[in-house]
């Protein structure tokens, strides 16, 4: 196994461990929040439980995707199952959006006609939920830069923590003032936290799934750098995309002087192109494919196309 493959497997194993711990904590608090929410009549608590339900489902998806992404490449799946982590992140974002809409509609209804709420039980459960979320955040924080999958899970837990703060705040307001609409307002706060995160995750996952150029990579700048390499006359069919988090890929047809293909300059040119892709841009690209073409062939193709 290559060093890169070993590093990938090690990182994937660490990610699965973090996700498993977060899932255990989330599932425990989820059950407790549902029971307490039903007993106290708190919509904010049930809303947070609904959010945690999507988190639990999302963490299961994330664990599955983390496992699939480690499967080896085959002749039918030449990149393995690396895209699974991106698909998992997109599914998590979709669930977040659905929960946001459902909770938002219910919260508006409760603002119009609020019900009875037992603030004490709501407060206790909010504190327990916040503690569990903080622990999950600390567990996932170290891996959030590894891939989009763990980043999605981390952002969901952050949203849960903020939602728990909303539940605690609403419980204090209800206990001190008796103003039960604070519960519905806390629910709307959770919705405000959910929807932008869902949109951001969907956008990030969509860019990868649609094979967009990596966001921090300026392809016109890449083209200019390639044209500055000695003996390069032109570049065409330049493409850059992301297979999975941390794996950008670039390919290009590079037109060089005819004599370079005859006097052994190709190795030097290819090394210069690979070094350029790996070192000169904000996105470090180590997976590259450069096809060198003689200038005379390019000129013949241009004539034939007229």
pLDDT digits (tens, 9 = 90+) for 290-301: 999 988 765 555
Q: Which residue has the higher pLDDT, 219 or 167?
A: 219
Give yes or no for residue 235 having a pLDDT over 60: yes
Q: Which one, of 188, 141, 190, 105, lies nearest residue 15 by Cα? A: 141
Predicted pLDDT of residue 8: 47
Give yes or no for residue 166 having a pLDDT over 90: no
Predicted pLDDT of residue 300: 52
Give yes or no for residue 304 having a pLDDT over 70: no
Q: What is the CATH number of domain 219-304?
A: 3.30.70.1350
Kindly state the average pLDDT of the residues 10-14. 53
Give yes or no for residue 5 having a pLDDT over 60: no
Residue 112 — pLDDT band, cuts 50, 70, 90?
confident
Does domain 3-209 correspond to CATH entry 3.40.50.300?
no
Domain with CATH 3.30.70.1350 in the chain: 219-304
**% the chain with pLDDT above 70:** 85
Q: Which one, of 53, 45, 51, lies nearest residue 125 by Cα? A: 45
Predicted pLDDT of residue 3: 41
Domain with CATH 1.20.1510.10 in the chain: 3-209
CB atoms under 10 Å from CB of 86, counted, come to 25
128-163 burial: b if 16+ Cβ within 10 Å, else e: bbbebbbebbebbeebbebbbbbbbbbbbbbbbbbb
């Amino acid at each position: 196994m290559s060093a890169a493959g070993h590093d990938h497997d090690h990182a994937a194993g660490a990610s699965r461990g973090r996700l498993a711990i977060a899932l255990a904590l989330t599932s425990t608090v989820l059950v407790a929040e549902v029971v307490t929410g039903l007993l106290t009549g708190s919509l904010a608590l049930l809303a947070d439980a609904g959010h945690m339900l999507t988190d639990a489902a999302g963490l299961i998806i994330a664990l599955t995707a983390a496992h699939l992404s480690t499967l080896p490449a085959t002749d039918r799946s030449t990149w393995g199952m690396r895209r699974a982590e991106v698909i998992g992140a997109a599914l998590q974002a979709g669930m977040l959006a659905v929960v946001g809409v459902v909770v938002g509609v219910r919260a508006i209804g409760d603002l119009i006609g609020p019900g009875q709420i037992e603030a004490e039980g709501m407060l206790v459960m909010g504190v327990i939920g916040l503690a569990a979320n903080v622990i999950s955040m600390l567990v996932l924080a170290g891996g959030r830069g590894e891939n989009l999958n763990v980043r999605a899970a981390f952002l969901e837990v952050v949203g849960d923590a903020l939602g728990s703060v909303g539940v605690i705040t609403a419980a204090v307001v209800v206990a001190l003032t008796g103003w039960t609409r604070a519960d519905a307002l806390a629910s709307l706060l959770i919705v405000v936290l959910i929807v932008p995160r869902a949109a951001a995750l969907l956008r990030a996952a969509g860019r990868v799934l649609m094979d967009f150029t990596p966001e921090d990579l300026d392809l016109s700048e890449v083209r200019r750098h390639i044209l500055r390499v000695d003996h390069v006359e032109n570049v065409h069919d330049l493409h850059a995309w992301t297979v999975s988090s941390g794996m950008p890929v670039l390919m290009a047809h590079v037109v060089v002087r005819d004599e370079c293909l005859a006097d052994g300059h190709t190795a030097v040119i290819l090394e210069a192109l690979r070094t350029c892709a790996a070192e000169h841009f904000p996105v470090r690209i180590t997976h590259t494919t450069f096809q060198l073409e003689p200038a005379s062939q390019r000129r013949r193709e241009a004539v034939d196309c007229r």
